[in-house]
Amino acid sequence: MQQVIEVEGEIALRQLLTLKGSTILYFQTNADRSVDPLFSQLCTDTPHARFLRVNAEKNPEILKAFSVSEVPCFFFIKDEEIVDKLEGAHPSDLANKVSKVAGPRAPTQAATPSSLGMAGGPTTLEAVQQESKIHNTL
């Protein structure tokens, strides 16, 4: 199972961002980790993308380099180019943007039980979309 990568320092982040493919970069603080469970589940549900987490308090130089003004903050990166940004904790927006930037699973990757609608149940994106429909927030 894929894990969220904890980024420690600017050099490590630069190396990770030079890799081809889709990357979701998440800035968080120790005080507000409310999005962590969703971010981790999206990571599991989207194994063909990289999920990076930066502790804003421990890495102020990275925060400044990305001009982050609100935390949590997410950057959606495709092949080294920032294609979207999301500030604040908005679960349905986060799930939709991850789906948009990561695209469909690569054909060589096996499907996970949850993506097949088996015992794992709906994917996180499907669950968030269903919840949003119930509350008319999508």
- Spatial distance between the Cα atoms of 32 and 18, rounded to a whole number of angstroms: 29
Structure tokens at 34: 């409310």
Q: Which residues contact 138 (CB under 8 A, 6 or more apart)?
A: 92, 129, 132
pLDDT at res. 117 = 47
User: Where along the chain do its domains lie?
Assistant: 5-111
Q: Are 17 and 80 in contact (CB under 8 A)?
A: yes
Q: How confident is the model at residue 12 (pLDDT cuts 50, 70, 90)?
A: very high
pLDDT tens, position by position, 104-137: 655 544 555 444 444 455 565 566 666 656 555 5
pLDDT at res. 119 = 47
* Domain 5-111: homologous superfamily in CATH: Glutaredoxin (3.40.30.10)
Q: pTM of the entire structure?
A: 0.77
Q: How many CB atoms lie within 10 A of CB 105?
A: 16
